[in-house]
Amino acid sequence: MNCNNEPIRVAQIVGKVLLSGVDVIVMEYYRNIDRSRIQFDFIMDGDNETPIDQEIKELGGRVYKVDPYEHNIKKNMKQCYEILRENQYSIVHAHLNTLSVFPLYEAWRAKIPVRIAHNHSTAANGEVKKTVMKYMLKPFAKKFATHYSACSTVAGRWLFGDYSYDSGEVKLVNNAINIEKFSFNKQVRDRIRNDLNLKEKLVIGHVGRFVYQKNHAFLIDIFYEIHKRNKNTILMLIGSGGLEQSIKEKVATLRLTDSVLFLGLREDVSELMQAMDVFVFPSHYEGLGMVVIEAQAAGLRTIVSEAIPEEAKLTDLFEYCSLSQPARYWAEIVLNCYDGNERRQRNNELRQSGYDIVTAADELREWYEWLYKNVRVHSNS
């Protein structure tokens, strides 16, 4: 709490709200942190109402909207500055990876004492434009930040460097989840499978935006090979994005339309995961891949590309498969890993690995309070 016995307000800069990735992670921390001591205000791109706006307000937070940086970076920065200056935050936590340099510059101008740069990603392998931009901004990532944080070792090293990471300058903040929410539940599984008319199907699942990073095109190739070997299979895709239409066209070309479910953006991912049998995640790059944590919590066999950091392997359900291998090889791995046995809860394994949101949120509270007190001592000295 601050000197007036009020909660410390932290400005969380999250960019676009996509109901996947960063905004989901920050909201999970917000729901579970002690809000009598720490409150979050959200600065997000776009002026449309999002599904989390009302919940943020009900929890005691504020929502501020700024123009998307890709539309008008100068206007975006000006709006950030005005919000930060007006509210006189002690802490700003920017989750925009290399792009955090822009709001953190405005936080520096607004004389905010604690400015956290948080990295959730790594190099954008295969995306030339995005990769060039990341490498151009990377040298400036630390310039206006006073503190650094990341979701994994690889993400921390990639943006902040080996020296900063090895010297303890990078705070690891796990992409923790509500373990109980994702824990295997047979009743929920039966209900969802009945609602979606899945019957005795073998359900392959994926959660992610339809963007190059998530590698949906290869996922469809994998499922094509799976379906050739076992017609009693369904691919469940949760998410939306710019490449969705092209993926639908590919599915139609391969005559898989009746075997692929496009479920769009969903707020019931934890329940939908209960209906899956195997989770496949062939991403080109990831800072961690929170959904593979969720999949393991749901007791799913989880097959991932080598782009997923080792820290995401929390159980023996997790298996790597190289993107250099053909789709038919992945298909064999997927089909061979499913034994049809009853799934079991993996709660203890996830808790021991530090991915329980209740514990993680309390650790984040302690860090924020330490930063706040340290800043007060420093500023008054």
Q: What pLDDT score does 376 carry? A: 56
CA atoms of 42 and 136, how far apart (whole Å): 27
Helix axes 101-109, 73-87, angle to 10 degrees: 40
- Cα–Cα distance, 1 to 72 (Å, whole number): 36
| The pLDDT value given to residue 332 | 98
Collapse the DSSP code of 173 into the 3-class scheme (helix H, G, I; strand E, B; otherwise coil) and give the result.
coil
Confidence of residue 380 (pLDDT cuts 50, 70, 90): very low
Does the pLDDT at position 331 exceed 70? yes
Q: Where are the alpha helices (DSSP H) in the chain?
A: 22-32, 53-58, 73-87, 101-109, 128-137, 153-160, 162-166, 179-182, 186-195, 216-229, 244-253, 269-275, 290-297, 327-337, 347-352, 357-380
Torsion of CA 118, 366, 32, 43, to 10 degrees: -40
Position 124 scores a pLDDT of: 66
Task: Name the amino acid, one letter, at 189.
Answer: R
- Pairwise pLDDT comparison (218 vs 375), residue with the higher score: 218
Topology, domain 179-352: Rossmann fold (3.40.50)
Res. 17: pLDDT tops 90: no
pLDDT in tens, 269-296: 999 999 999 999 999 999 899 999 999 9
Number of helices followed by number of strands (H, E) in the chain: 16, 13
The residue among 195 and 374 whose pLDDT is bigger is: 195
pLDDT above 80: residue 353 = yes
What sign for the dihedral angle of Cα 28, 31, 32, 36? positive
Q: Which two tokens stand for residue 320?
A: 């790597």
Long-range contact set of residues 156-162: C-beta below 8 Å, sequence gap at least 24: 156/119, 158/119, 158/121, 158/122, 158/123, 159/97, 159/98, 159/117, 159/119, 160/117, 160/119
User: Which phi and psi (to 5°) does residue 90 adopt?
Assistant: -90, -25
Whether pLDDT at 25 is above 90? yes
* N-to-C CA span, the chain: 20
Least confident of 177-186, 202-211, 316-325, 369-378: 369-378
Place of tokens 């937070």: 61
Q: Give the pLDDT mean for 97-101.
A: 93
Q: What percent of the chain has pLDDT over 90?
A: 83
Q: How far apart are CA 323 and CA 44, in angstroms?
A: 34
Query: Is pLDDT larger for residue 135 or for residue 80?
Result: 80
pLDDT in tens, 213-257: 999 999 999 999 999 999 999 999 999 999 999 999 999 999 999
Q: What is the mean pLDDT of the chain?
A: 93
* Three-state SS at 147: strand
Q: Is the pLDDT of residue 128 over 70?
A: no
At residue 253, the 3 state secondary structure works out as helix
Phi, psi of 13 (to 5 degrees): -100, 110
pLDDT band at 20 (very low <50, low <70, confident <90, very high): confident
Asked if 10 contacts 26 with a C-beta cutoff of 8 angstroms, the reply is no
Domain with CATH 3.40.50.2000 in the chain: 8-176+356-380, 179-352
| Domain 8-176+356-380, CATH number (from 3.20.20.70, 1.10.443.10, 3.40.50.2000, 3.40.50.300) | 3.40.50.2000
Closest C-alpha to 329, from 321, 337, 339, 318: 321
pLDDT of residue 381: 41
Strand order in the sheet with 233-238: 260-262, 233-238, 202-207, 278-281, 301-304, 318-320
Q: Say what the alpha-carbon torsion angle 32, 35, 38, 41 is, to the nearest 10 degrees.
A: 90
If you compute the radius of gyration of the chain from its CA atoms, what whole number of angstroms results?
Answer: 21
Q: Is 178 helix (H, G, I), strand (E, B) or coil?
A: coil
Q: Please, are residues 283 and 289 in contact by the beta-carbon 8 Å criterion?
A: yes
Asked if residues 110 and 271 have their Cβ atoms less than 8 Å apart, the reply is: no
